[in-house]
């Protein structure tokens, strides 16, 4: 592995830098977001700006990550560890593979379990729609869609305006939030609609 090249690419959807592990809750959030996405690597001993600091206690960092993976993630995760020396400094790499047991939850400071997904270089709280998509995409059941007036109206709207939010969907179709969520989840799973999550909002576009 060319670690310097990897660091040069910068933090992103599948890469996160940690100078040191200070909180099981925080690191569980990142690991869960990787597992719920396409997997990712944690580089411990690397500062946010990409400076290689090295780890002071490899055993301690490994212990914190393992503890977070086992007790602060549900279902539990299995990180794959690798040690790389760069300029006499040790960087601990913890890889989290994409899971086939989605969604994974992380235990937060408030004692509650939440689902997180990776958006660019951040681990973001998943919406109800994202959680439902993760659950149903793991159960191997097909999606049977009957194109009623609601589906037709929504797709025609997306053809004209490019995007819609859950609130706008409720207003457009004059239906409740729960019904709108189910409709969107079905269309996302069937590949007709694409979900777009940012740190500030979530919206839907034609696939």
What does the longest C-alpha to C-alpha distance in the chain come to?
65
Residue 141: which pLDDT band, with cuts at 50, 70 and 90?
low
Per-residue pLDDT tens digits for 82-121: 999 998 999 999 999 999 999 999 999 999 999 999 999 9
Calpha distance 20→51 (Å, rounded): 13
For the chain, give the mean pLDDT. Answer: 93
C-alpha Rg value of the chain to the nearest Å: 20
Q: How many Cα atoms sit within 13 Å of 66 on the Cβ side? A: 9
CA dihedral 21, 60, 6, 12 (to 10 degrees): -30
Which domains are assigned to the chain?
Answer: 3-126 (3.30.950.30), 135-206 (1.10.10.10)
What pLDDT was estimated at residue 47? 96
Name which of 74, 12, 64 is nearest 41 in CA terms. Answer: 12
What pLDDT was estimated at residue 10? 94
The H or E element spanning position 182 is helix 177-189
Per-residue pLDDT tens digits for 68-85: 999 999 999 999 999 999
Per-residue b or e along 90-107, where b marks 16 or more CB atoms closer than 10 Å to that residue's CB: bbbbbbbeebeebbbbbb
Weakest mean pLDDT among 42-56, 60-74, 129-143: 129-143
Whether 139 shows a pLDDT value over 80: the answer reads no
Give me the residues paired with residue 91 across strands. 84
Q: How far is CA 132 from CA 81, 100, 116, 137, in A?
A: 31, 15, 13, 8
Average pLDDT of span 185-207: 92
Residue written as tokens 């149903």?
136
């Amino acid at each position: 592995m060319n670690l310097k090249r990897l660091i040069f690419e910068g933090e992103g959807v599948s890469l996160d830098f940690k100078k040191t592990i200070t909180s099981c809750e925080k690191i569980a959030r990142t690991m869960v977001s990787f597992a719920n996405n396409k997997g990712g690597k944690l580089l411990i001993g690397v500062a946010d700006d990409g400076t290689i600091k090295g780890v002071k206690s490899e055993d301690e960092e490994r212990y914190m990550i393992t503890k977070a993976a086992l007790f602060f993630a549900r279902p539990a995760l299995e990180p794959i560890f690798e040690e790389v020396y760069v300029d006499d400094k040790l960087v601990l790499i913890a890889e989290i593979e994409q899971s086939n047991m989605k969604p994974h939850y992380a235990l937060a400071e408030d004692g509650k379990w939440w689902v997180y997904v990776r958006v660019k270089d951040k681990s973001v709280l998943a919406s109800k729609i994202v959680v439902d998509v993760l659950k149903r995409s793991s159960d191997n059941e097909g999606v049977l869609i009957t194109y009623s007036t609601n589906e037709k109206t929504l797709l025609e709207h997306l053809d004209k305006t490019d995007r819609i939010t859950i609130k706008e969907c409720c207003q457009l179709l004059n239906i409740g939030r729960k019904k709108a969520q189910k409709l969107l989840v079905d269309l996302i799973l069937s590949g007709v609609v694409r979900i777009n999550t940012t740190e500030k909002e979530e919206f839907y576009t034609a696939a």
